[in-house]
Amino acid sequence: MSYTGPDFEPSQPHRSPLRRALTVAVAALVPGALLGWGVYAAVGGPGEGDGGGSGRAGGAGTPAAPSSGAPASGAPASSPGDGDGKKLAGSSPAPTSKAPSASGPALPASGPLTGKVVVIDPGHNPANFRHASEINRKVNVGTHWKECDTTGTATNAGWPEAKFTLDVAHRLRTLLLEQGATVKLTQDGDRSFGPCVDERARIGNEAKADAAISIHADGSGAGNRGFHVIMPGSVHDGAADTRAIVAPSAELGERVAGAFVRVTGTAPSNYLGDGTGLVTRTDLGGLNLSTVPKVFIECGNMRDRTDAALLTSGSWRQKAAQGMSEGIVSFLRG
C-alpha cells in the first residue's frame, strides 16, 4: 500500500486524540519509571526487553512471569504462518538497502525517506539457546552490568520469539526500503549468537540512525495481552547518556504506538502502561547506550493463547510491520 501522498500524516497541530493521550501518558510515565528503577535494581530482572518492565514502569499492571521461557531443547520449531505473506519477503532472504536482490520489492529511485537511515534490531537470536555461556557474559550498559543477550521467550507451542522478531524485521525492512530509506539490521540470523545488547545499541549509533527500533514479543502471564512500546527514560551514568534522545524517542514511540493501533487494530497492553501502550524504562542496555532516537516494541504476549494466535499469523505480522513502518515514516517526515 502506498502512503507517500501529502495527506498521509496530519501535521503536528492536528494530532489525533489518541496521540494527545499518548503524549500525556509519556509525561506521566517518566517519573514512575524512574521510581521503578530502584525496584528493578533490587530484584534483578529478566532479559532485555521482555517482562522486565512488568509492574516496574509506571507501577501499572500485574507482575509478569519472567521471560526465561527458552525454546524447548532441540531445534526451534519452524515458523508458523509462513504461507501467508511469503511474497512479502517474510521468510525469504530480504534485500539489503545497498544491493536489492532480484526477488526483493521494486525500489523507487527515491521516496519520502530517501537519505534517512533506519536501524532495525530483531530481538534475541534464533541460535542464542545454543550459546548459553556466551550470551550470559555480562556487559556494561552504563547503569549496571547485564547479560550479553537472552534467548527470548516462545509461544506455549515452542515457536521462539527470535523467529518472530526476525520475520517482522524482514517485513519492516521491505516496507522501509520501499519508502526510500537506508535500512540496517543488527542481526539477520547470520550470527551464531547475539549480538550483545551493547553492540545492538552501538550498531544504531555508528550508522547514525535517524530512527532505531528493537522488535520483541513479551513472555508474560496468560491473560496479559496487547502490545507496548518502550521508550528510554533519562539516564546519565557511565557510558549511558540518554538525555538527548529522550524527547525524540518519545515522539517516535508515540507515533509507532498510534500507527500500530490503527493498522493492526490490536489494543494496547492490558498489563503495562495504563492502557496507553507506552512505557518508559531506564534498565535496558539497548536504550541506555543509544545515542539515536530508539524504541522497543513488544508486539504482544507469546504466552497468552489469544495473543499467540496473532503473533503466529503471517498476515498479522505483516500488519504489525506496516504499523511500525507508518509510525517511523511519520516520525521521520516530521
Residues within the interface to Zn ion (CB under 5 A): 49-50, 123, 152, 216
| CB of 49 or CB of 268, closer to Zn ion | 49
In the β-sheet with 117-122, what is the strand arrangement from edge to edge? 182-185, 117-122, 211-218, 294-301, 228-232, 278-281
Cα(195)–Cα(203) distance, rounded to whole angstroms? 10
C-alpha–C-alpha distance, residues 220 and 168, integer Å: 20
Q: Are 40 and 52 in contact (CB under 8 A)?
A: yes
147 catalytic? Reply is: no
Tell me the closest approach of the beta carbon of residue 214 to Zn ion, in angstroms: 8
- Name which of 192, 215, 218, 184 is nearest 286 in CA terms: 215
Catalytic residue among 9, 48, 161, 298: 298
Sequence-ordered list of residues with C-beta below 8 angstroms from that of 225, at least 6 positions apart, any chain = 267, 269, 270, 271, 300, 301, 304, 306, 307
Q: Are 104 and 94 in contact (CB under 8 A)?
A: yes
C-alpha cell at 10: 496530519
Closer to Zn ion by Cβ: residue 26 or 284: 284
CB of 230 to Zn ion, least distance (A): 10
Number of other residues whose CB lies within 10 A of the CB of residue 306? 12
What kind and span of H or E run contains 165? helix 161-178
Query: Which is nearer to Zn ion, 50 or 283 (by Cβ)?
Result: 50
Cβ distance to Zn ion smaller for residue 53 or 123: 123
Q: Which residue is nearest to Zn ion (CB)?
A: 216
User: By C-beta, is 105 or 195 nearer to Zn ion?
Assistant: 195
The residues annotated with a catalytic role in the active site are 298
